[in-house]
């Protein structure tokens, strides 16, 4: 490649990089990154998965057969938490939803653009 051609290719790559950056910024794909979303109940995966050794499918029972893994039902939570830390303030919140027969109204944390499809079942079933 000649020096003259190299200097015409570089602006093309820069323009492509700028276009990709703008597309990503305005697509909404990264709109939830770094934002703290308030939830009705504080939930941390680590104690359930790493410490207790629970399988993802215990709470997300549709994850291996549906595009959306869904959330655990309140009765699934209370299946353990009637005995495990029932006096915890967060578990008391879950118990209140359970007693009312209401699901926990979780607030969405991540939202990919409508044109993106991410079926969890393919990843769960792959191991």
The pLDDT value recorded for residue 2 is 63
Rounded CA-CA distance 108/31 in Å is 12
How high is the pLDDT of residue 53?
Answer: 93
Q: Which residues contact 69 (CB under 8 A, 6 or more apart)?
A: 56, 60, 62, 63, 120, 124
Specify the pLDDT at position 120.
76
* C-alpha neighbours within 13 Å on the C-beta side of residue 77: 24
Predicted confidence at residue 33, as pLDDT, reads: 59
Give the length of the chain: 127
All structural domains of the chain with their residue ranges: 35-126
Asked whether the CA dihedral 46, 48, 54, 56 is positive or negative, the reply is negative
pLDDT attached to residue 5:
66
List the structure tokens of 97: 């939803």
pLDDT in tens, the chain (127 residues): 566 666 677 777 777 777 777 676 666 555 555 678 899 999 999 999 999 999 988 998 888 888 778 889 999 999 999 999 999 999 999 999 999 999 999 998 877 788 887 777 777 777 6
């Amino acid at each position: 490649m000649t020096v003259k051609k190299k200097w015409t290719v570089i602006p093309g790559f820069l323009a492509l990089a700028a276009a990709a950056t703008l597309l990503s910024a305005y697509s909404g794909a990264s709109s939830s990154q770094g934002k703290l979303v308030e939830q009705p109940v504080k939930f941390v995966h680590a104690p359930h998965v790493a410490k207790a050794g629970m399988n993802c499918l215990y709470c997300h029972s549709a994850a291996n057969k549906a595009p959306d893994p869904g959330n655990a039902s309140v009765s699934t939570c209370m299946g353990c938490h009637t005995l495990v830390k029932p006096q915890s303030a967060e578990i008391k919140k879950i118990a209140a939803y359970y007693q009312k027969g209401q699901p926990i109204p979780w607030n969405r944390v991540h939202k990919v653009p409508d044109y993106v499809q991410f079926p969890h079942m393919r990843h769960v079933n792959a191991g």
